[in-house]
Structure 1
Amino acid sequence: MFGKLAVKNVTRSLKDYSVYFLTLTFGVCIFYIFNSLESQWCMQALGQSASYLVDAILIFMDIFSAFVSVVLACLVLYANTFLMKRRKRELGTYFLLGLPTGRVSLLLVLETLLIGLLALAAGLGLGILLSHVLGLFTIAMFSAYPAELGLILSVPAIGKTAVYFGAIFLVVMACTGFSVSRARLIDLMQGRRKNEEMKERPLWQSVLTFLLGGGLLLTAYAMLLTRGLLRIDPLFFLMLALGTAGTLLFFRSLSGFLLRLVKGRKRLYYKGLNLFVLRQFNSRIHTTYVSMTVICLLLLLAIGVTACSVGLNHTIEANTDASAPYDFTLQNYSGDVREVDIPALLTANGFDTSRELRSSYLCSLRYGTPRPEEAGDPGTALALSDYNALMALQGREGLTEEEVPCLREDPLVTGFSGIGTYRVVSDQEAQGLPVRRQLFVGNYAGDAQATEARLEAVLAQPGFFESGSYSLGSRLQIYLENMGTKLLVLFMGLYLGLVFLLTAAAVLALQQLSQAADDQPRYQLLSRLGAPEGMRDRAVFTQVFLAFALPLALAVVHAAVGMTAANAVIAQVGRVDAAASSAVTAAFLLVIYGAYFLATYLGSRRMARGRG
């Protein structure tokens, strides 16, 4: 009986559950996507040569998942509180009919369980589809494609998601039963009769608050742009405090400033239901400016983190090319003691350089002065012919004899630690300088991974290093390490950005729906006064639009200033792909924020029509 009643209640109140269901579905979807990363092709490819990077990424994802689960639990509890408020009269009716408290609690638990199972199924389905999209995105980042592309189904991620959200729903059901057991009948029946008293602030106070808030924001912006993001000191925290206070004062001033501003334009003020909408907005923001500040800051974090994580990918990728001009570099650090014919030594030990390499070059780096033992470490010199040969291997222009001697910083070796600044000298001068070390650079003729494995096997032979002290720098290893960093930055940024966005949108939606429920009698009065349904619908749209657009607009301004400061830092090592970061961030905003806006508007409109 109670099972059928629970199904009937969920079906009948499906529109009431829309935002709640949307929050659960998006939460399950995001949680599954980022916990199924180990099944992604890119992670499997990375794990073949750099399994420690995969382990690090997965550890970070586990830590973030624990944090995300707490955030989502609080969000679900907040959404459940809204539903309980919406159903107070219904619960009071059950008590009037003589239904025991335990039975009412059981009914609500069954409803919560049902909506949870539906959201879990829908979220997992959406998560499987979007994890495929994420897989295609990361494959494009690798500039390579697997033999087969298909939907990824991660059984461990499904189990983990089910366990986490099962625990969340157990908490929700326990809280629901507890709140029902403590509810009083009179409070349930009169739950919607409490109205908020509107207090209109003097115009001068609103204008002063607005100017003060704007001044604090401009001060915080100026400090950020002049000081940058990397100076973490007391002034940095002062800057954050000024920005937060400015945002708070901005929204607080809107409670009177916007109303008085529109009042000055009589035609706009008295058009349609603008008078009613603005006074409603004025009365609400009087007490919700704190929550709007929090929502604005959450949106700022969502936009900033998402945009930076996507935009930084090009900077990380550019560092690979700068650190790896050749497929490998083998350095003989004992060249000052004994010069070795490295290609012959490799061939003698089983790595035929003429067959394994399509191009290679052996040269010597020299000390900058003839007697380095007297001058400590005066620097590095390179013969002109060697420099030109190395540049030719990179496909770059060399130097002429008229241009030497000169100081250069062009990359000479494959490895994160380059040579630094060195002096290019004539071949004749180089002959008089002592050898510092030997460089053997090359590009593989066949498959890079297989060829490098054979090279490493030769270098690992017991007798090979008796000939000197060697080190191997590999483009493949640098690429994989950079890709690991790239994926870690991308995944963590998207994970946090989406959670911040989901939290801001859900809290805002639930807040607006709660206010729409309180405004229902007012819209019914407008209907009795003759306001047509279309006019009332436009009034609802305007209220919801203002609530969603204002914190988003200010968050975009904050993010634009923050990204400018971030670009100034990143420009020292690369650049941010503004187009890609803006496109991805806009897509997330459109899908998640837009979905909540639409669901909120439809729910509020239904209540205004007296159907909720």
Structure 2
Amino acid sequence: MYAKLIFRNARRSVRDYLIYIVTMTICVTLFYSFLSISSSYYHPDIGSTYDFTMLGDGMKMAICAITLILLFLIWFVNGYMLRRRQKEFALQSIMGMEQRTIGRLFFAETFLMGGISVAAGIFLGAFCSQFITAMLLTSYGQSYRISWMLFPDTVLLTVVFFSLSFVIVGLFNTRAIRKTKIIDMLSADRENEPELKKSRFLPAVTLLYLLVMAVMLVNSVRIRHYYFDPRYALPVHIMFWSNILFPALGLLWPLIWLIFRKRLDFPRLVAGEVALAVCNAISAACVPGMRSAYLLSYGAGVTNQYIMFVLADLLYVICGVIYLASAMLVIRKNSSPERRYYRENLFFYGQMISKLTTTSKTMTLVCATLAAAIVLFMAAPVLVGWSSGYLDVRSVYDVQIFSRYNDVYDEADLPRGDYDVVTDFLGEHHIEADADCTFNLYLPRRADFDNRRKHDFPVLAISLSDYNAIRRMLGYAPISLEDGAFTTQWQTVATEEEREEFLRERRIETDAGSLTVSGQSFYLENIGQTAYNTYTSVVYVFPDSVCAQLLPVMRNRYISAEEPISYEDARELEQIFTDIYPEDPTAESGGVSYGIRLSTLQINSARAGNFVLQASMIYGAVVLMVICLTVLSLQQLLDAGHYRYRFSVLRKLGVEEPRISCLVWRQLGVWFGLPVGLAVLVSAVVVIYFIQTVSTEISAYIGFGALAAQIAATVGILVLLFVCYFISTWLLFRRAIDP
């Protein structure tokens, strides 16, 4: 009998469970899709040069950790269903059914709906996992072919995780039903959140923000005292003074408000602080940019502090705007009687002002979380593209052997030799070298040997013959130099301004005499990072006769193999090399530090790490978006009983159905549009600021066209989620108010 009752209630309430089913299905789909690549049955064809174990283990840990957030979502959605059904539970109790039995029936009902969601989610997850596989194989440079597969261990893990989640939440719901009084169940749909004027949320947030501004003011005064120079350009003067002025005004405004508080209400205080927070954010955001543009002397610690100040300003702007939304609607309503009484505007304003007033804290948290999710979504392609492009710069050879003299203080201890252990290993494992170049890097002046100051290491030189040998290895045309001339080779991240500043001096003094810059003064082809000295992004190219008279301080060897080195051979070679040539300087090595980079290991670890990072950020962002949109949807649907009565009054007053539909669209548009629009605006500011900060790296490693395509794809996913939840909410809302 109970089983029939459960199935009958489930069939009758399936529309009420629409948000529950949609949310759980999306969660299960995401969980299965991302976790499927960690399955022991998943064996993608990525070649012998890659090891898939590290990626699978990393994905499993990352996805399971992020999925714990879903427990909150499952609890929240179940709470919505519990509150929606409380009057029904009260009537069942009055008719004689025990509350313990009611709780068990509700648990079985939600578990049944959850089971349907899990089944649908696994089916959709098997389809969506093809996109994850395509993303994975693309990152490894492999071709992709669609294959429809269900992995038993992933299916089992998905079923176990969500079943346990449903059981845990169901036990709490059963206990809540058993402990709730019948009279409280009957009146549950008439409960509201506390009025905004009684909430201490925003006053507490404002107080915390004032403390942040006080810290910013003290910090700005201190930084100006230590780093300001009257000779700086006007924009730098404005930056220093604005970071003092706006925090000071932010602290002064509350004092003015306290003096005139009888005439100035709290929303006016918040409005003033929001305006000053915007000014604070702009001035603080200039600090990192001014440092790079004008080569200011403060360090990364100062810029990191001001980035945190920018985030604090943006968070307060979110809190303030959400708080002031109802006040702005009141002002708009009272601005003109014609607008107030036009059609159903009075009803619309009353609905929205009442709802925004009682849910400002929830809306603020939703907006901030949604902004964080969008930033994660947008930052993922930037960070992964940056790392992938950087990998291309690092892994230009199959084997890179390099040395550093940072801790060498005796010229006799400088590195020599040809690293014969590598030659022996390649011969033993029948690995043929397509090209092999062993070369020295020289100090232009021996007197600079003891110069070890950070960011002031001397620029080294390479001989023309060795430089041309490296260019031939990489497929570049060789170059030539006139007698007594030199040229330069630059890293891809170096800016045009840096090159112009460096080459302003057309001559250079060396131990072999003076050299003049060649007609072709620089080359930008990528030759790897180990060809440059510490903290430098340029290397001189000198004639061989000049280098023969200079002091060699670094000894490198680059090898390109005819076939890619397998992962096992690369690990073995790395271990053998590090046993003989230590990475950390020791007394036996004379202070020389050695290193070996094998493209197989670099590409394997970097691509695995990049994929785990990208998948984790995208998965986490989607989970947070689903949570936020679910909360927004349920906040409207929780008061469905009130809306049914209110809209029935409108119908009795003669309002036609098309006007009611338009009113519903306006109400849901404001309810969803305010937090989503504000979150998009704030996240866009953060992402644009981030992209401008790392624009040099983006230009060098990613390309703005590729980045724009990736960002467009993420925006498409956000729009798709928004449309799904908006339409689902609209359907349930219309059903709730239909006569």
TM exceeding 0.5:
yes
Judge conservation of contact 1:367–1:381 (CA < 8 Å) in 2: yes
* Residue in 2 that maps onto 1:283: 354
* Cα distance change, pair 267–461 in 1 and its aligned pair in 2 (3 A): closer
Residue equivalent to 2:461: 381
Change (3 A) 1:470 1:170: closer
1:484 to 583, 608, 627: 608
C-alpha deviations, 1:576-608, integer Å up to 9, x for none? 654234223222212322211111111111111
TM-score, normalization by structure 1:
0.85
Aligned partner of 1:164 among 157, 161, 165: 161
Shift in Å, 1:417: 8.0
- Give the aligned partner of residue 501 of structure 1: 625
Q: Does residue 603 of the first structure (1) align with residue 732 of the second (2)?
A: yes
Give, in whole Å, the separation in 1 of the partners of 2:736 and 2:725.
16
Per-residue displacement from partner, 1:206-241 (whole Å, max 9, x unpaired)? Answer: 566445424323423442353479757766555444
Give the 3 Å change call, closer, same or farther, for CA 88–344 of structure 1 in structure 2: closer
Q: Which residue of 1 is the match for residue 486 of structure 2?
A: 405
- Give the superposition deviation at 1:358: 3.8
**Structure 2 CA distance, aligned partners of 1:185 and 1:531?**
37
Match of 1:433 in 2: 550
Shift of 1:168: 1.4
State how far apart, in whole Å, the 2-side matches of 1:484 and 1:123 are.
26
Q: CA–CA distance in 1 between the matches of 2:642 and 2:477? A: 74
In structure 2, stretches of 5+ residues that fail to align are 199-262, 290-299, 405-411, 492-524, 582-588
Equivalent pair of 2:435/2:559 in contact (CA under 8 Å):
yes
What amino acid sits opposite 1:187 in the alignment?
A: D
Q: Which has the higher contact order (CA 8 A, sep 6+)?
A: 1
Cα deviation per residue 1:429-474 (whole Å; 9 max; x = unaligned)?
12233555554434333x3135994996699599999xx9986432
Alpha carbons 1:502, 1:592 under 8 Å: kept: yes
Alignment partner, residue 221 of structure 2: none
Distance 2:192 2:275 in 1: 32
CA displacement at 1:295 relative to structure 2: 0.8
1:182 aligns with 2:306: no
Shift of 1:177: 1.4
Q: 1:436 to 1:412 in 2, by over 3 A?
A: farther
Aligned to 2:65: 66
Aligned to 1:300: 371
Stretch of structure 1 that moved more, 296-305 or 601-610? 601-610
SS in 1 for 2:679: helix
Whether 1:14 aligns to 2:8 is no
Whole-angstrom CA distance in 2 between matches of 1:431 and 1:199 = 80
Give the AA of the match of 2:105.
L
C-alpha spacing 1:338/1:176, structure 2 compared with 1 (3 Å):
closer
Q: 1:107-256 alignment to 2 at 5 Å?
A: 107-145=105-143, 148-193=145-190, 209-227=270-288, 231=302, 237-256=308-327
State the 1:341 CA deviation. 9.9
Q: Which moved more, 1:96-105 or 1:193-202?
A: 193-202
Measure the CA separation in 2 of the matches of 1:442 and 1:559.
45
Moved more, 311-320 or 36-45: 36-45
- Local SS of the residue matching 2:148: coil
1:90 aligns with 2:88: yes
Which position in structure 2 is the counterpart of 1:392?
Answer: 472
For the 8 Å contact 2:196–2:358, the answer to whether it is kept is no
Measure how far apart 1:323 and its partner are.
1.4
Q: What whole-Å deviation, never above 9, does each CA across 1:326-361 have from its counterpart, x for those lacking one?
A: 3333559999776559699559945778xx344444
Aligned residue pair count: 601
Contact 1:33-1:130 at 8 Å conserved across structures: yes
> Which residue of the partner structure matches residue 555 of structure 1?
679
SS of equivalent residue, structure 1 residue 329:
strand
The CA deviation string for residues 167-192 of structure 1, in whole angstroms up to 9 with x for no partner, is 21112221221122123333333433
Aligned partners of 2:114 and 2:166 also within 8 Å: yes
Alpha-carbon distance in 2 for matches of 1:373, 1:19 = 70
Q: Is the 8 A contact 1:46 1:484 kept in 2?
A: no
Tell whether the 8 Å contact from 1:383 to 1:430 is kept in structure 2 after alignment.
yes
Q: 1:76 Cα shift?
A: 1.7
C-alpha separation in 2, matches of 1:203 and 1:532:
42
Tell me, what secondary structure is at the counterpart of 2:67?
helix
| Cα deviation, residue 32, structure 1 | 2.1
Question: Does the Cα contact within 8 Å between 2:570 and 2:600 map onto a contact in 1?
Answer: no
Task: Report the secondary structure of 1:448's partner residue.
Answer: coil
The whole-number CA distance in structure 1 between the counterparts of 2:12 and 2:442 is 83
Pair 294,412 (structure 1): closer, same or farther in 2 beyond 3 Å: closer
Q: How does 1:309-458 map to 2 (within 5 A)?
A: 309-330=380-401, 339-340=417-418, 349-350=427-428, 356-369=432-445, 380-396=460-476, 399-402=479-482, 404-410=485-491, 418-419=532-533, 420=536, 421-433=538-550, 435-436=552-553, 438-445=555-562, 447-450=563-566, 453=569
**Cα 1:459/1:113, change in 2 over 3 Å:** closer
Paired residues of 2:464 and 2:541 also in contact (CA < 8 A)? yes
Cα contact 2:468–2:478 (8 A) shared by 1: yes
Say if 1:510 and 1:344 are closer, same or farther in 2 by CA, change over 3 A.
closer
Contact 1:200/1:256, CA 8 A, preserved across alignment: no
Q: 3-state SS of the aligned residue for 1:536?
A: helix
Q: How far has the Cα of 1:518 moved from its partner?
A: 2.5
CA distance in 1, matches of 2:413, 2:265: 80
Query: Could you tell me how far apart the structure 1 residues matched to 2:64 and 2:579 are?
Result: 48
**Secondary structure of 2:143's match?**
coil
Task: Sort the Cα spacing of 1:457 and 1:507 in 2 relative to 1 into closer, same or farther, 3 A.
Answer: closer
Distance 2:604 2:425 in 1: 27
Residues 413 and 473 of structure 1 are in contact (CA less than 8 Å); yes or no, is this contact kept in structure 2? no
Aligned CA distance change for structure 1 residues 11 and 321 (closer, same or farther; 3 Å): same
Distance 1:34 1:321 in 2: 26
> Distance between the aligned counterparts of 1:298 and 1:487, measured in 2?
24
- C-alpha distance in structure 2 between counterparts of 1:564 and 1:542, whole Å: 30
Partner of 2:206: none
Deviations 1:104-149 (A, max 9, x none): 2222122122111111111111222111111112222333225x54
The equivalent residue for 1:34 is 34
Long gaps (5+) in structure 1: none
Asked whether the equivalents of residues 48 and 566 of structure 2 are also in contact (C-alpha less than 8 Å), the reply is no
Q: Is the 8 A contact 2:126 2:149 kept in 1?
A: yes
In the alignment, structure 1 residue 2 sits paired with structure 2 residue 8: no
Alignment-derived partner of residue 525 in structure 1: 649
SS at match of 2:727: helix
Do the aligned partners of 1:215 and 1:246 also contact (CA within 8 Å) in 2? Answer: no
Output the CA distance in 1 between the equivalents of 2:152 and 2:357.
49
Per the alignment, residue 513 of structure 1 pairs with: 637
